[in-house]
Structure 1
């Protein structure tokens, strides 16, 4: 009896330890099925009338959770399974692996917000050759065989941002800029539009531009460093959602009373607008993306002729445009 008791105790300890070890390391990516409980690493089982669409984001962020909600709502009238994936932080390698997996799963269509337009071109072409249409949203891969692009013109967005900065600073002052990656076509074109407008129409000086490469800790460190090095700056211009999220945190911690104008109407930015931490934001009508993504994917699998660029447009939103919910 004594030996049996110790054997049972040892077995229970082994179970507990193995359970702890199995959950110790976090997943390197966020991935889930919206309309199915299937393991996303396994090829989805398709009914004859069911479509499976893959959605790939550049990173996990509340902004993209908002987009997923809108895609889910748009897909409800149809028999559609959504497989949604995103790296924890911006990772081209992971995003490429996600594309490879979805091609291997033989999904019916893929919508991707691409991190790198050059690196992803071969994979988008590979999907197209396999009969899987791909649409790009927010950022484009124009040299690929993608079916269409959903988004606005980043150069024109940058021009509007220049006008907003000009209006708030009355044509004079000093600004700091932070973005995700210098080689991102979207970020570089936004920056180009800003600089062109400011140089041609104002005396506003750009003190410094930094890039965080999707690293939240680096984004905060860069912001704090720029503020310390340029204490007399007049405005901060985040070029992407990670920069704006972390700018809000820094604004709160330091109690800054400077201008902050950004891109992307995320849930955080909405609150910051109401609280006065963000003065204005350029929105790309993000609430419409879900409908447009599902429309384009359905059109693509039916091979319906459609414009290769679905221009979402953009608009400035100020605190006065917001309503308290």
Structure 2
């Protein structure tokens, strides 16, 4: 009996140690300055600090200010209204496992989903009612052949989980599209929380899909559109256009005319761009967050060094 008690005690200690290690691996701040109590107060540029993995923030009006770093560690981060989402891969898991953390306006965890895969993209619908994500389940790069993704979403107000949108009926040229190799990635919602866009990849071609969430059906609009990001006015999509193997250019598509405008960023950008407002687009590139005009003019501006996965908190309307 004594041996059994000792064994159970030892097991409990091991479990406690494992839990402590897992928590500290995600939220450890010992290697950096004390954590700041960040909130989703308006007028901020939030981002992932690439040196520590922690979510940081600077004022939108002064991005050269010293960043404040929270204790929250994420691989991808996004926010809208009073909701945020953090994708955090569990260290040491193989195959990879990601925790999808749904956060409130003080970055406290409201809900967690644990899913297989490596974090790739994350977004929150403009009304704050849905969070969505893309995970790599095989491969770890859009430049690789044979990669596979899972794009899913969570309804914050109802608790409904859609692990993957692979069953979304999509029509191409008026006909239902079927293929065994269909992948979706890069979901972006309209301000109404219903209309959304995503990339459909199949047979070596990518398509921009426009979908109705309530009716749960979509249609292809045009080819060679990846990682769409809908503008605040809901009229344009920023996206990355493939121009070579592993090379993409940022462009903006007018949804009414389907006219495309290449942006003034000449380098390859492998990111889901973010609209700061109707005139400015943000993106991660070369271990920094950059901004460029949405009309193709001007030159790129570096906003924050050592940063990725930008997110902005807007003034309430």
TM over 0.5: no
TM-score by length of 2: 0.28
Name whichever structure is richer in helix by fraction: 1
Instruction: Say which one has the larger Rg.
Output: 1
Higher relative contact order (CA 8 A, sep 6+): 1
Name whichever structure is richer in strand by fraction: 2
TM-score by length of 1: 0.27
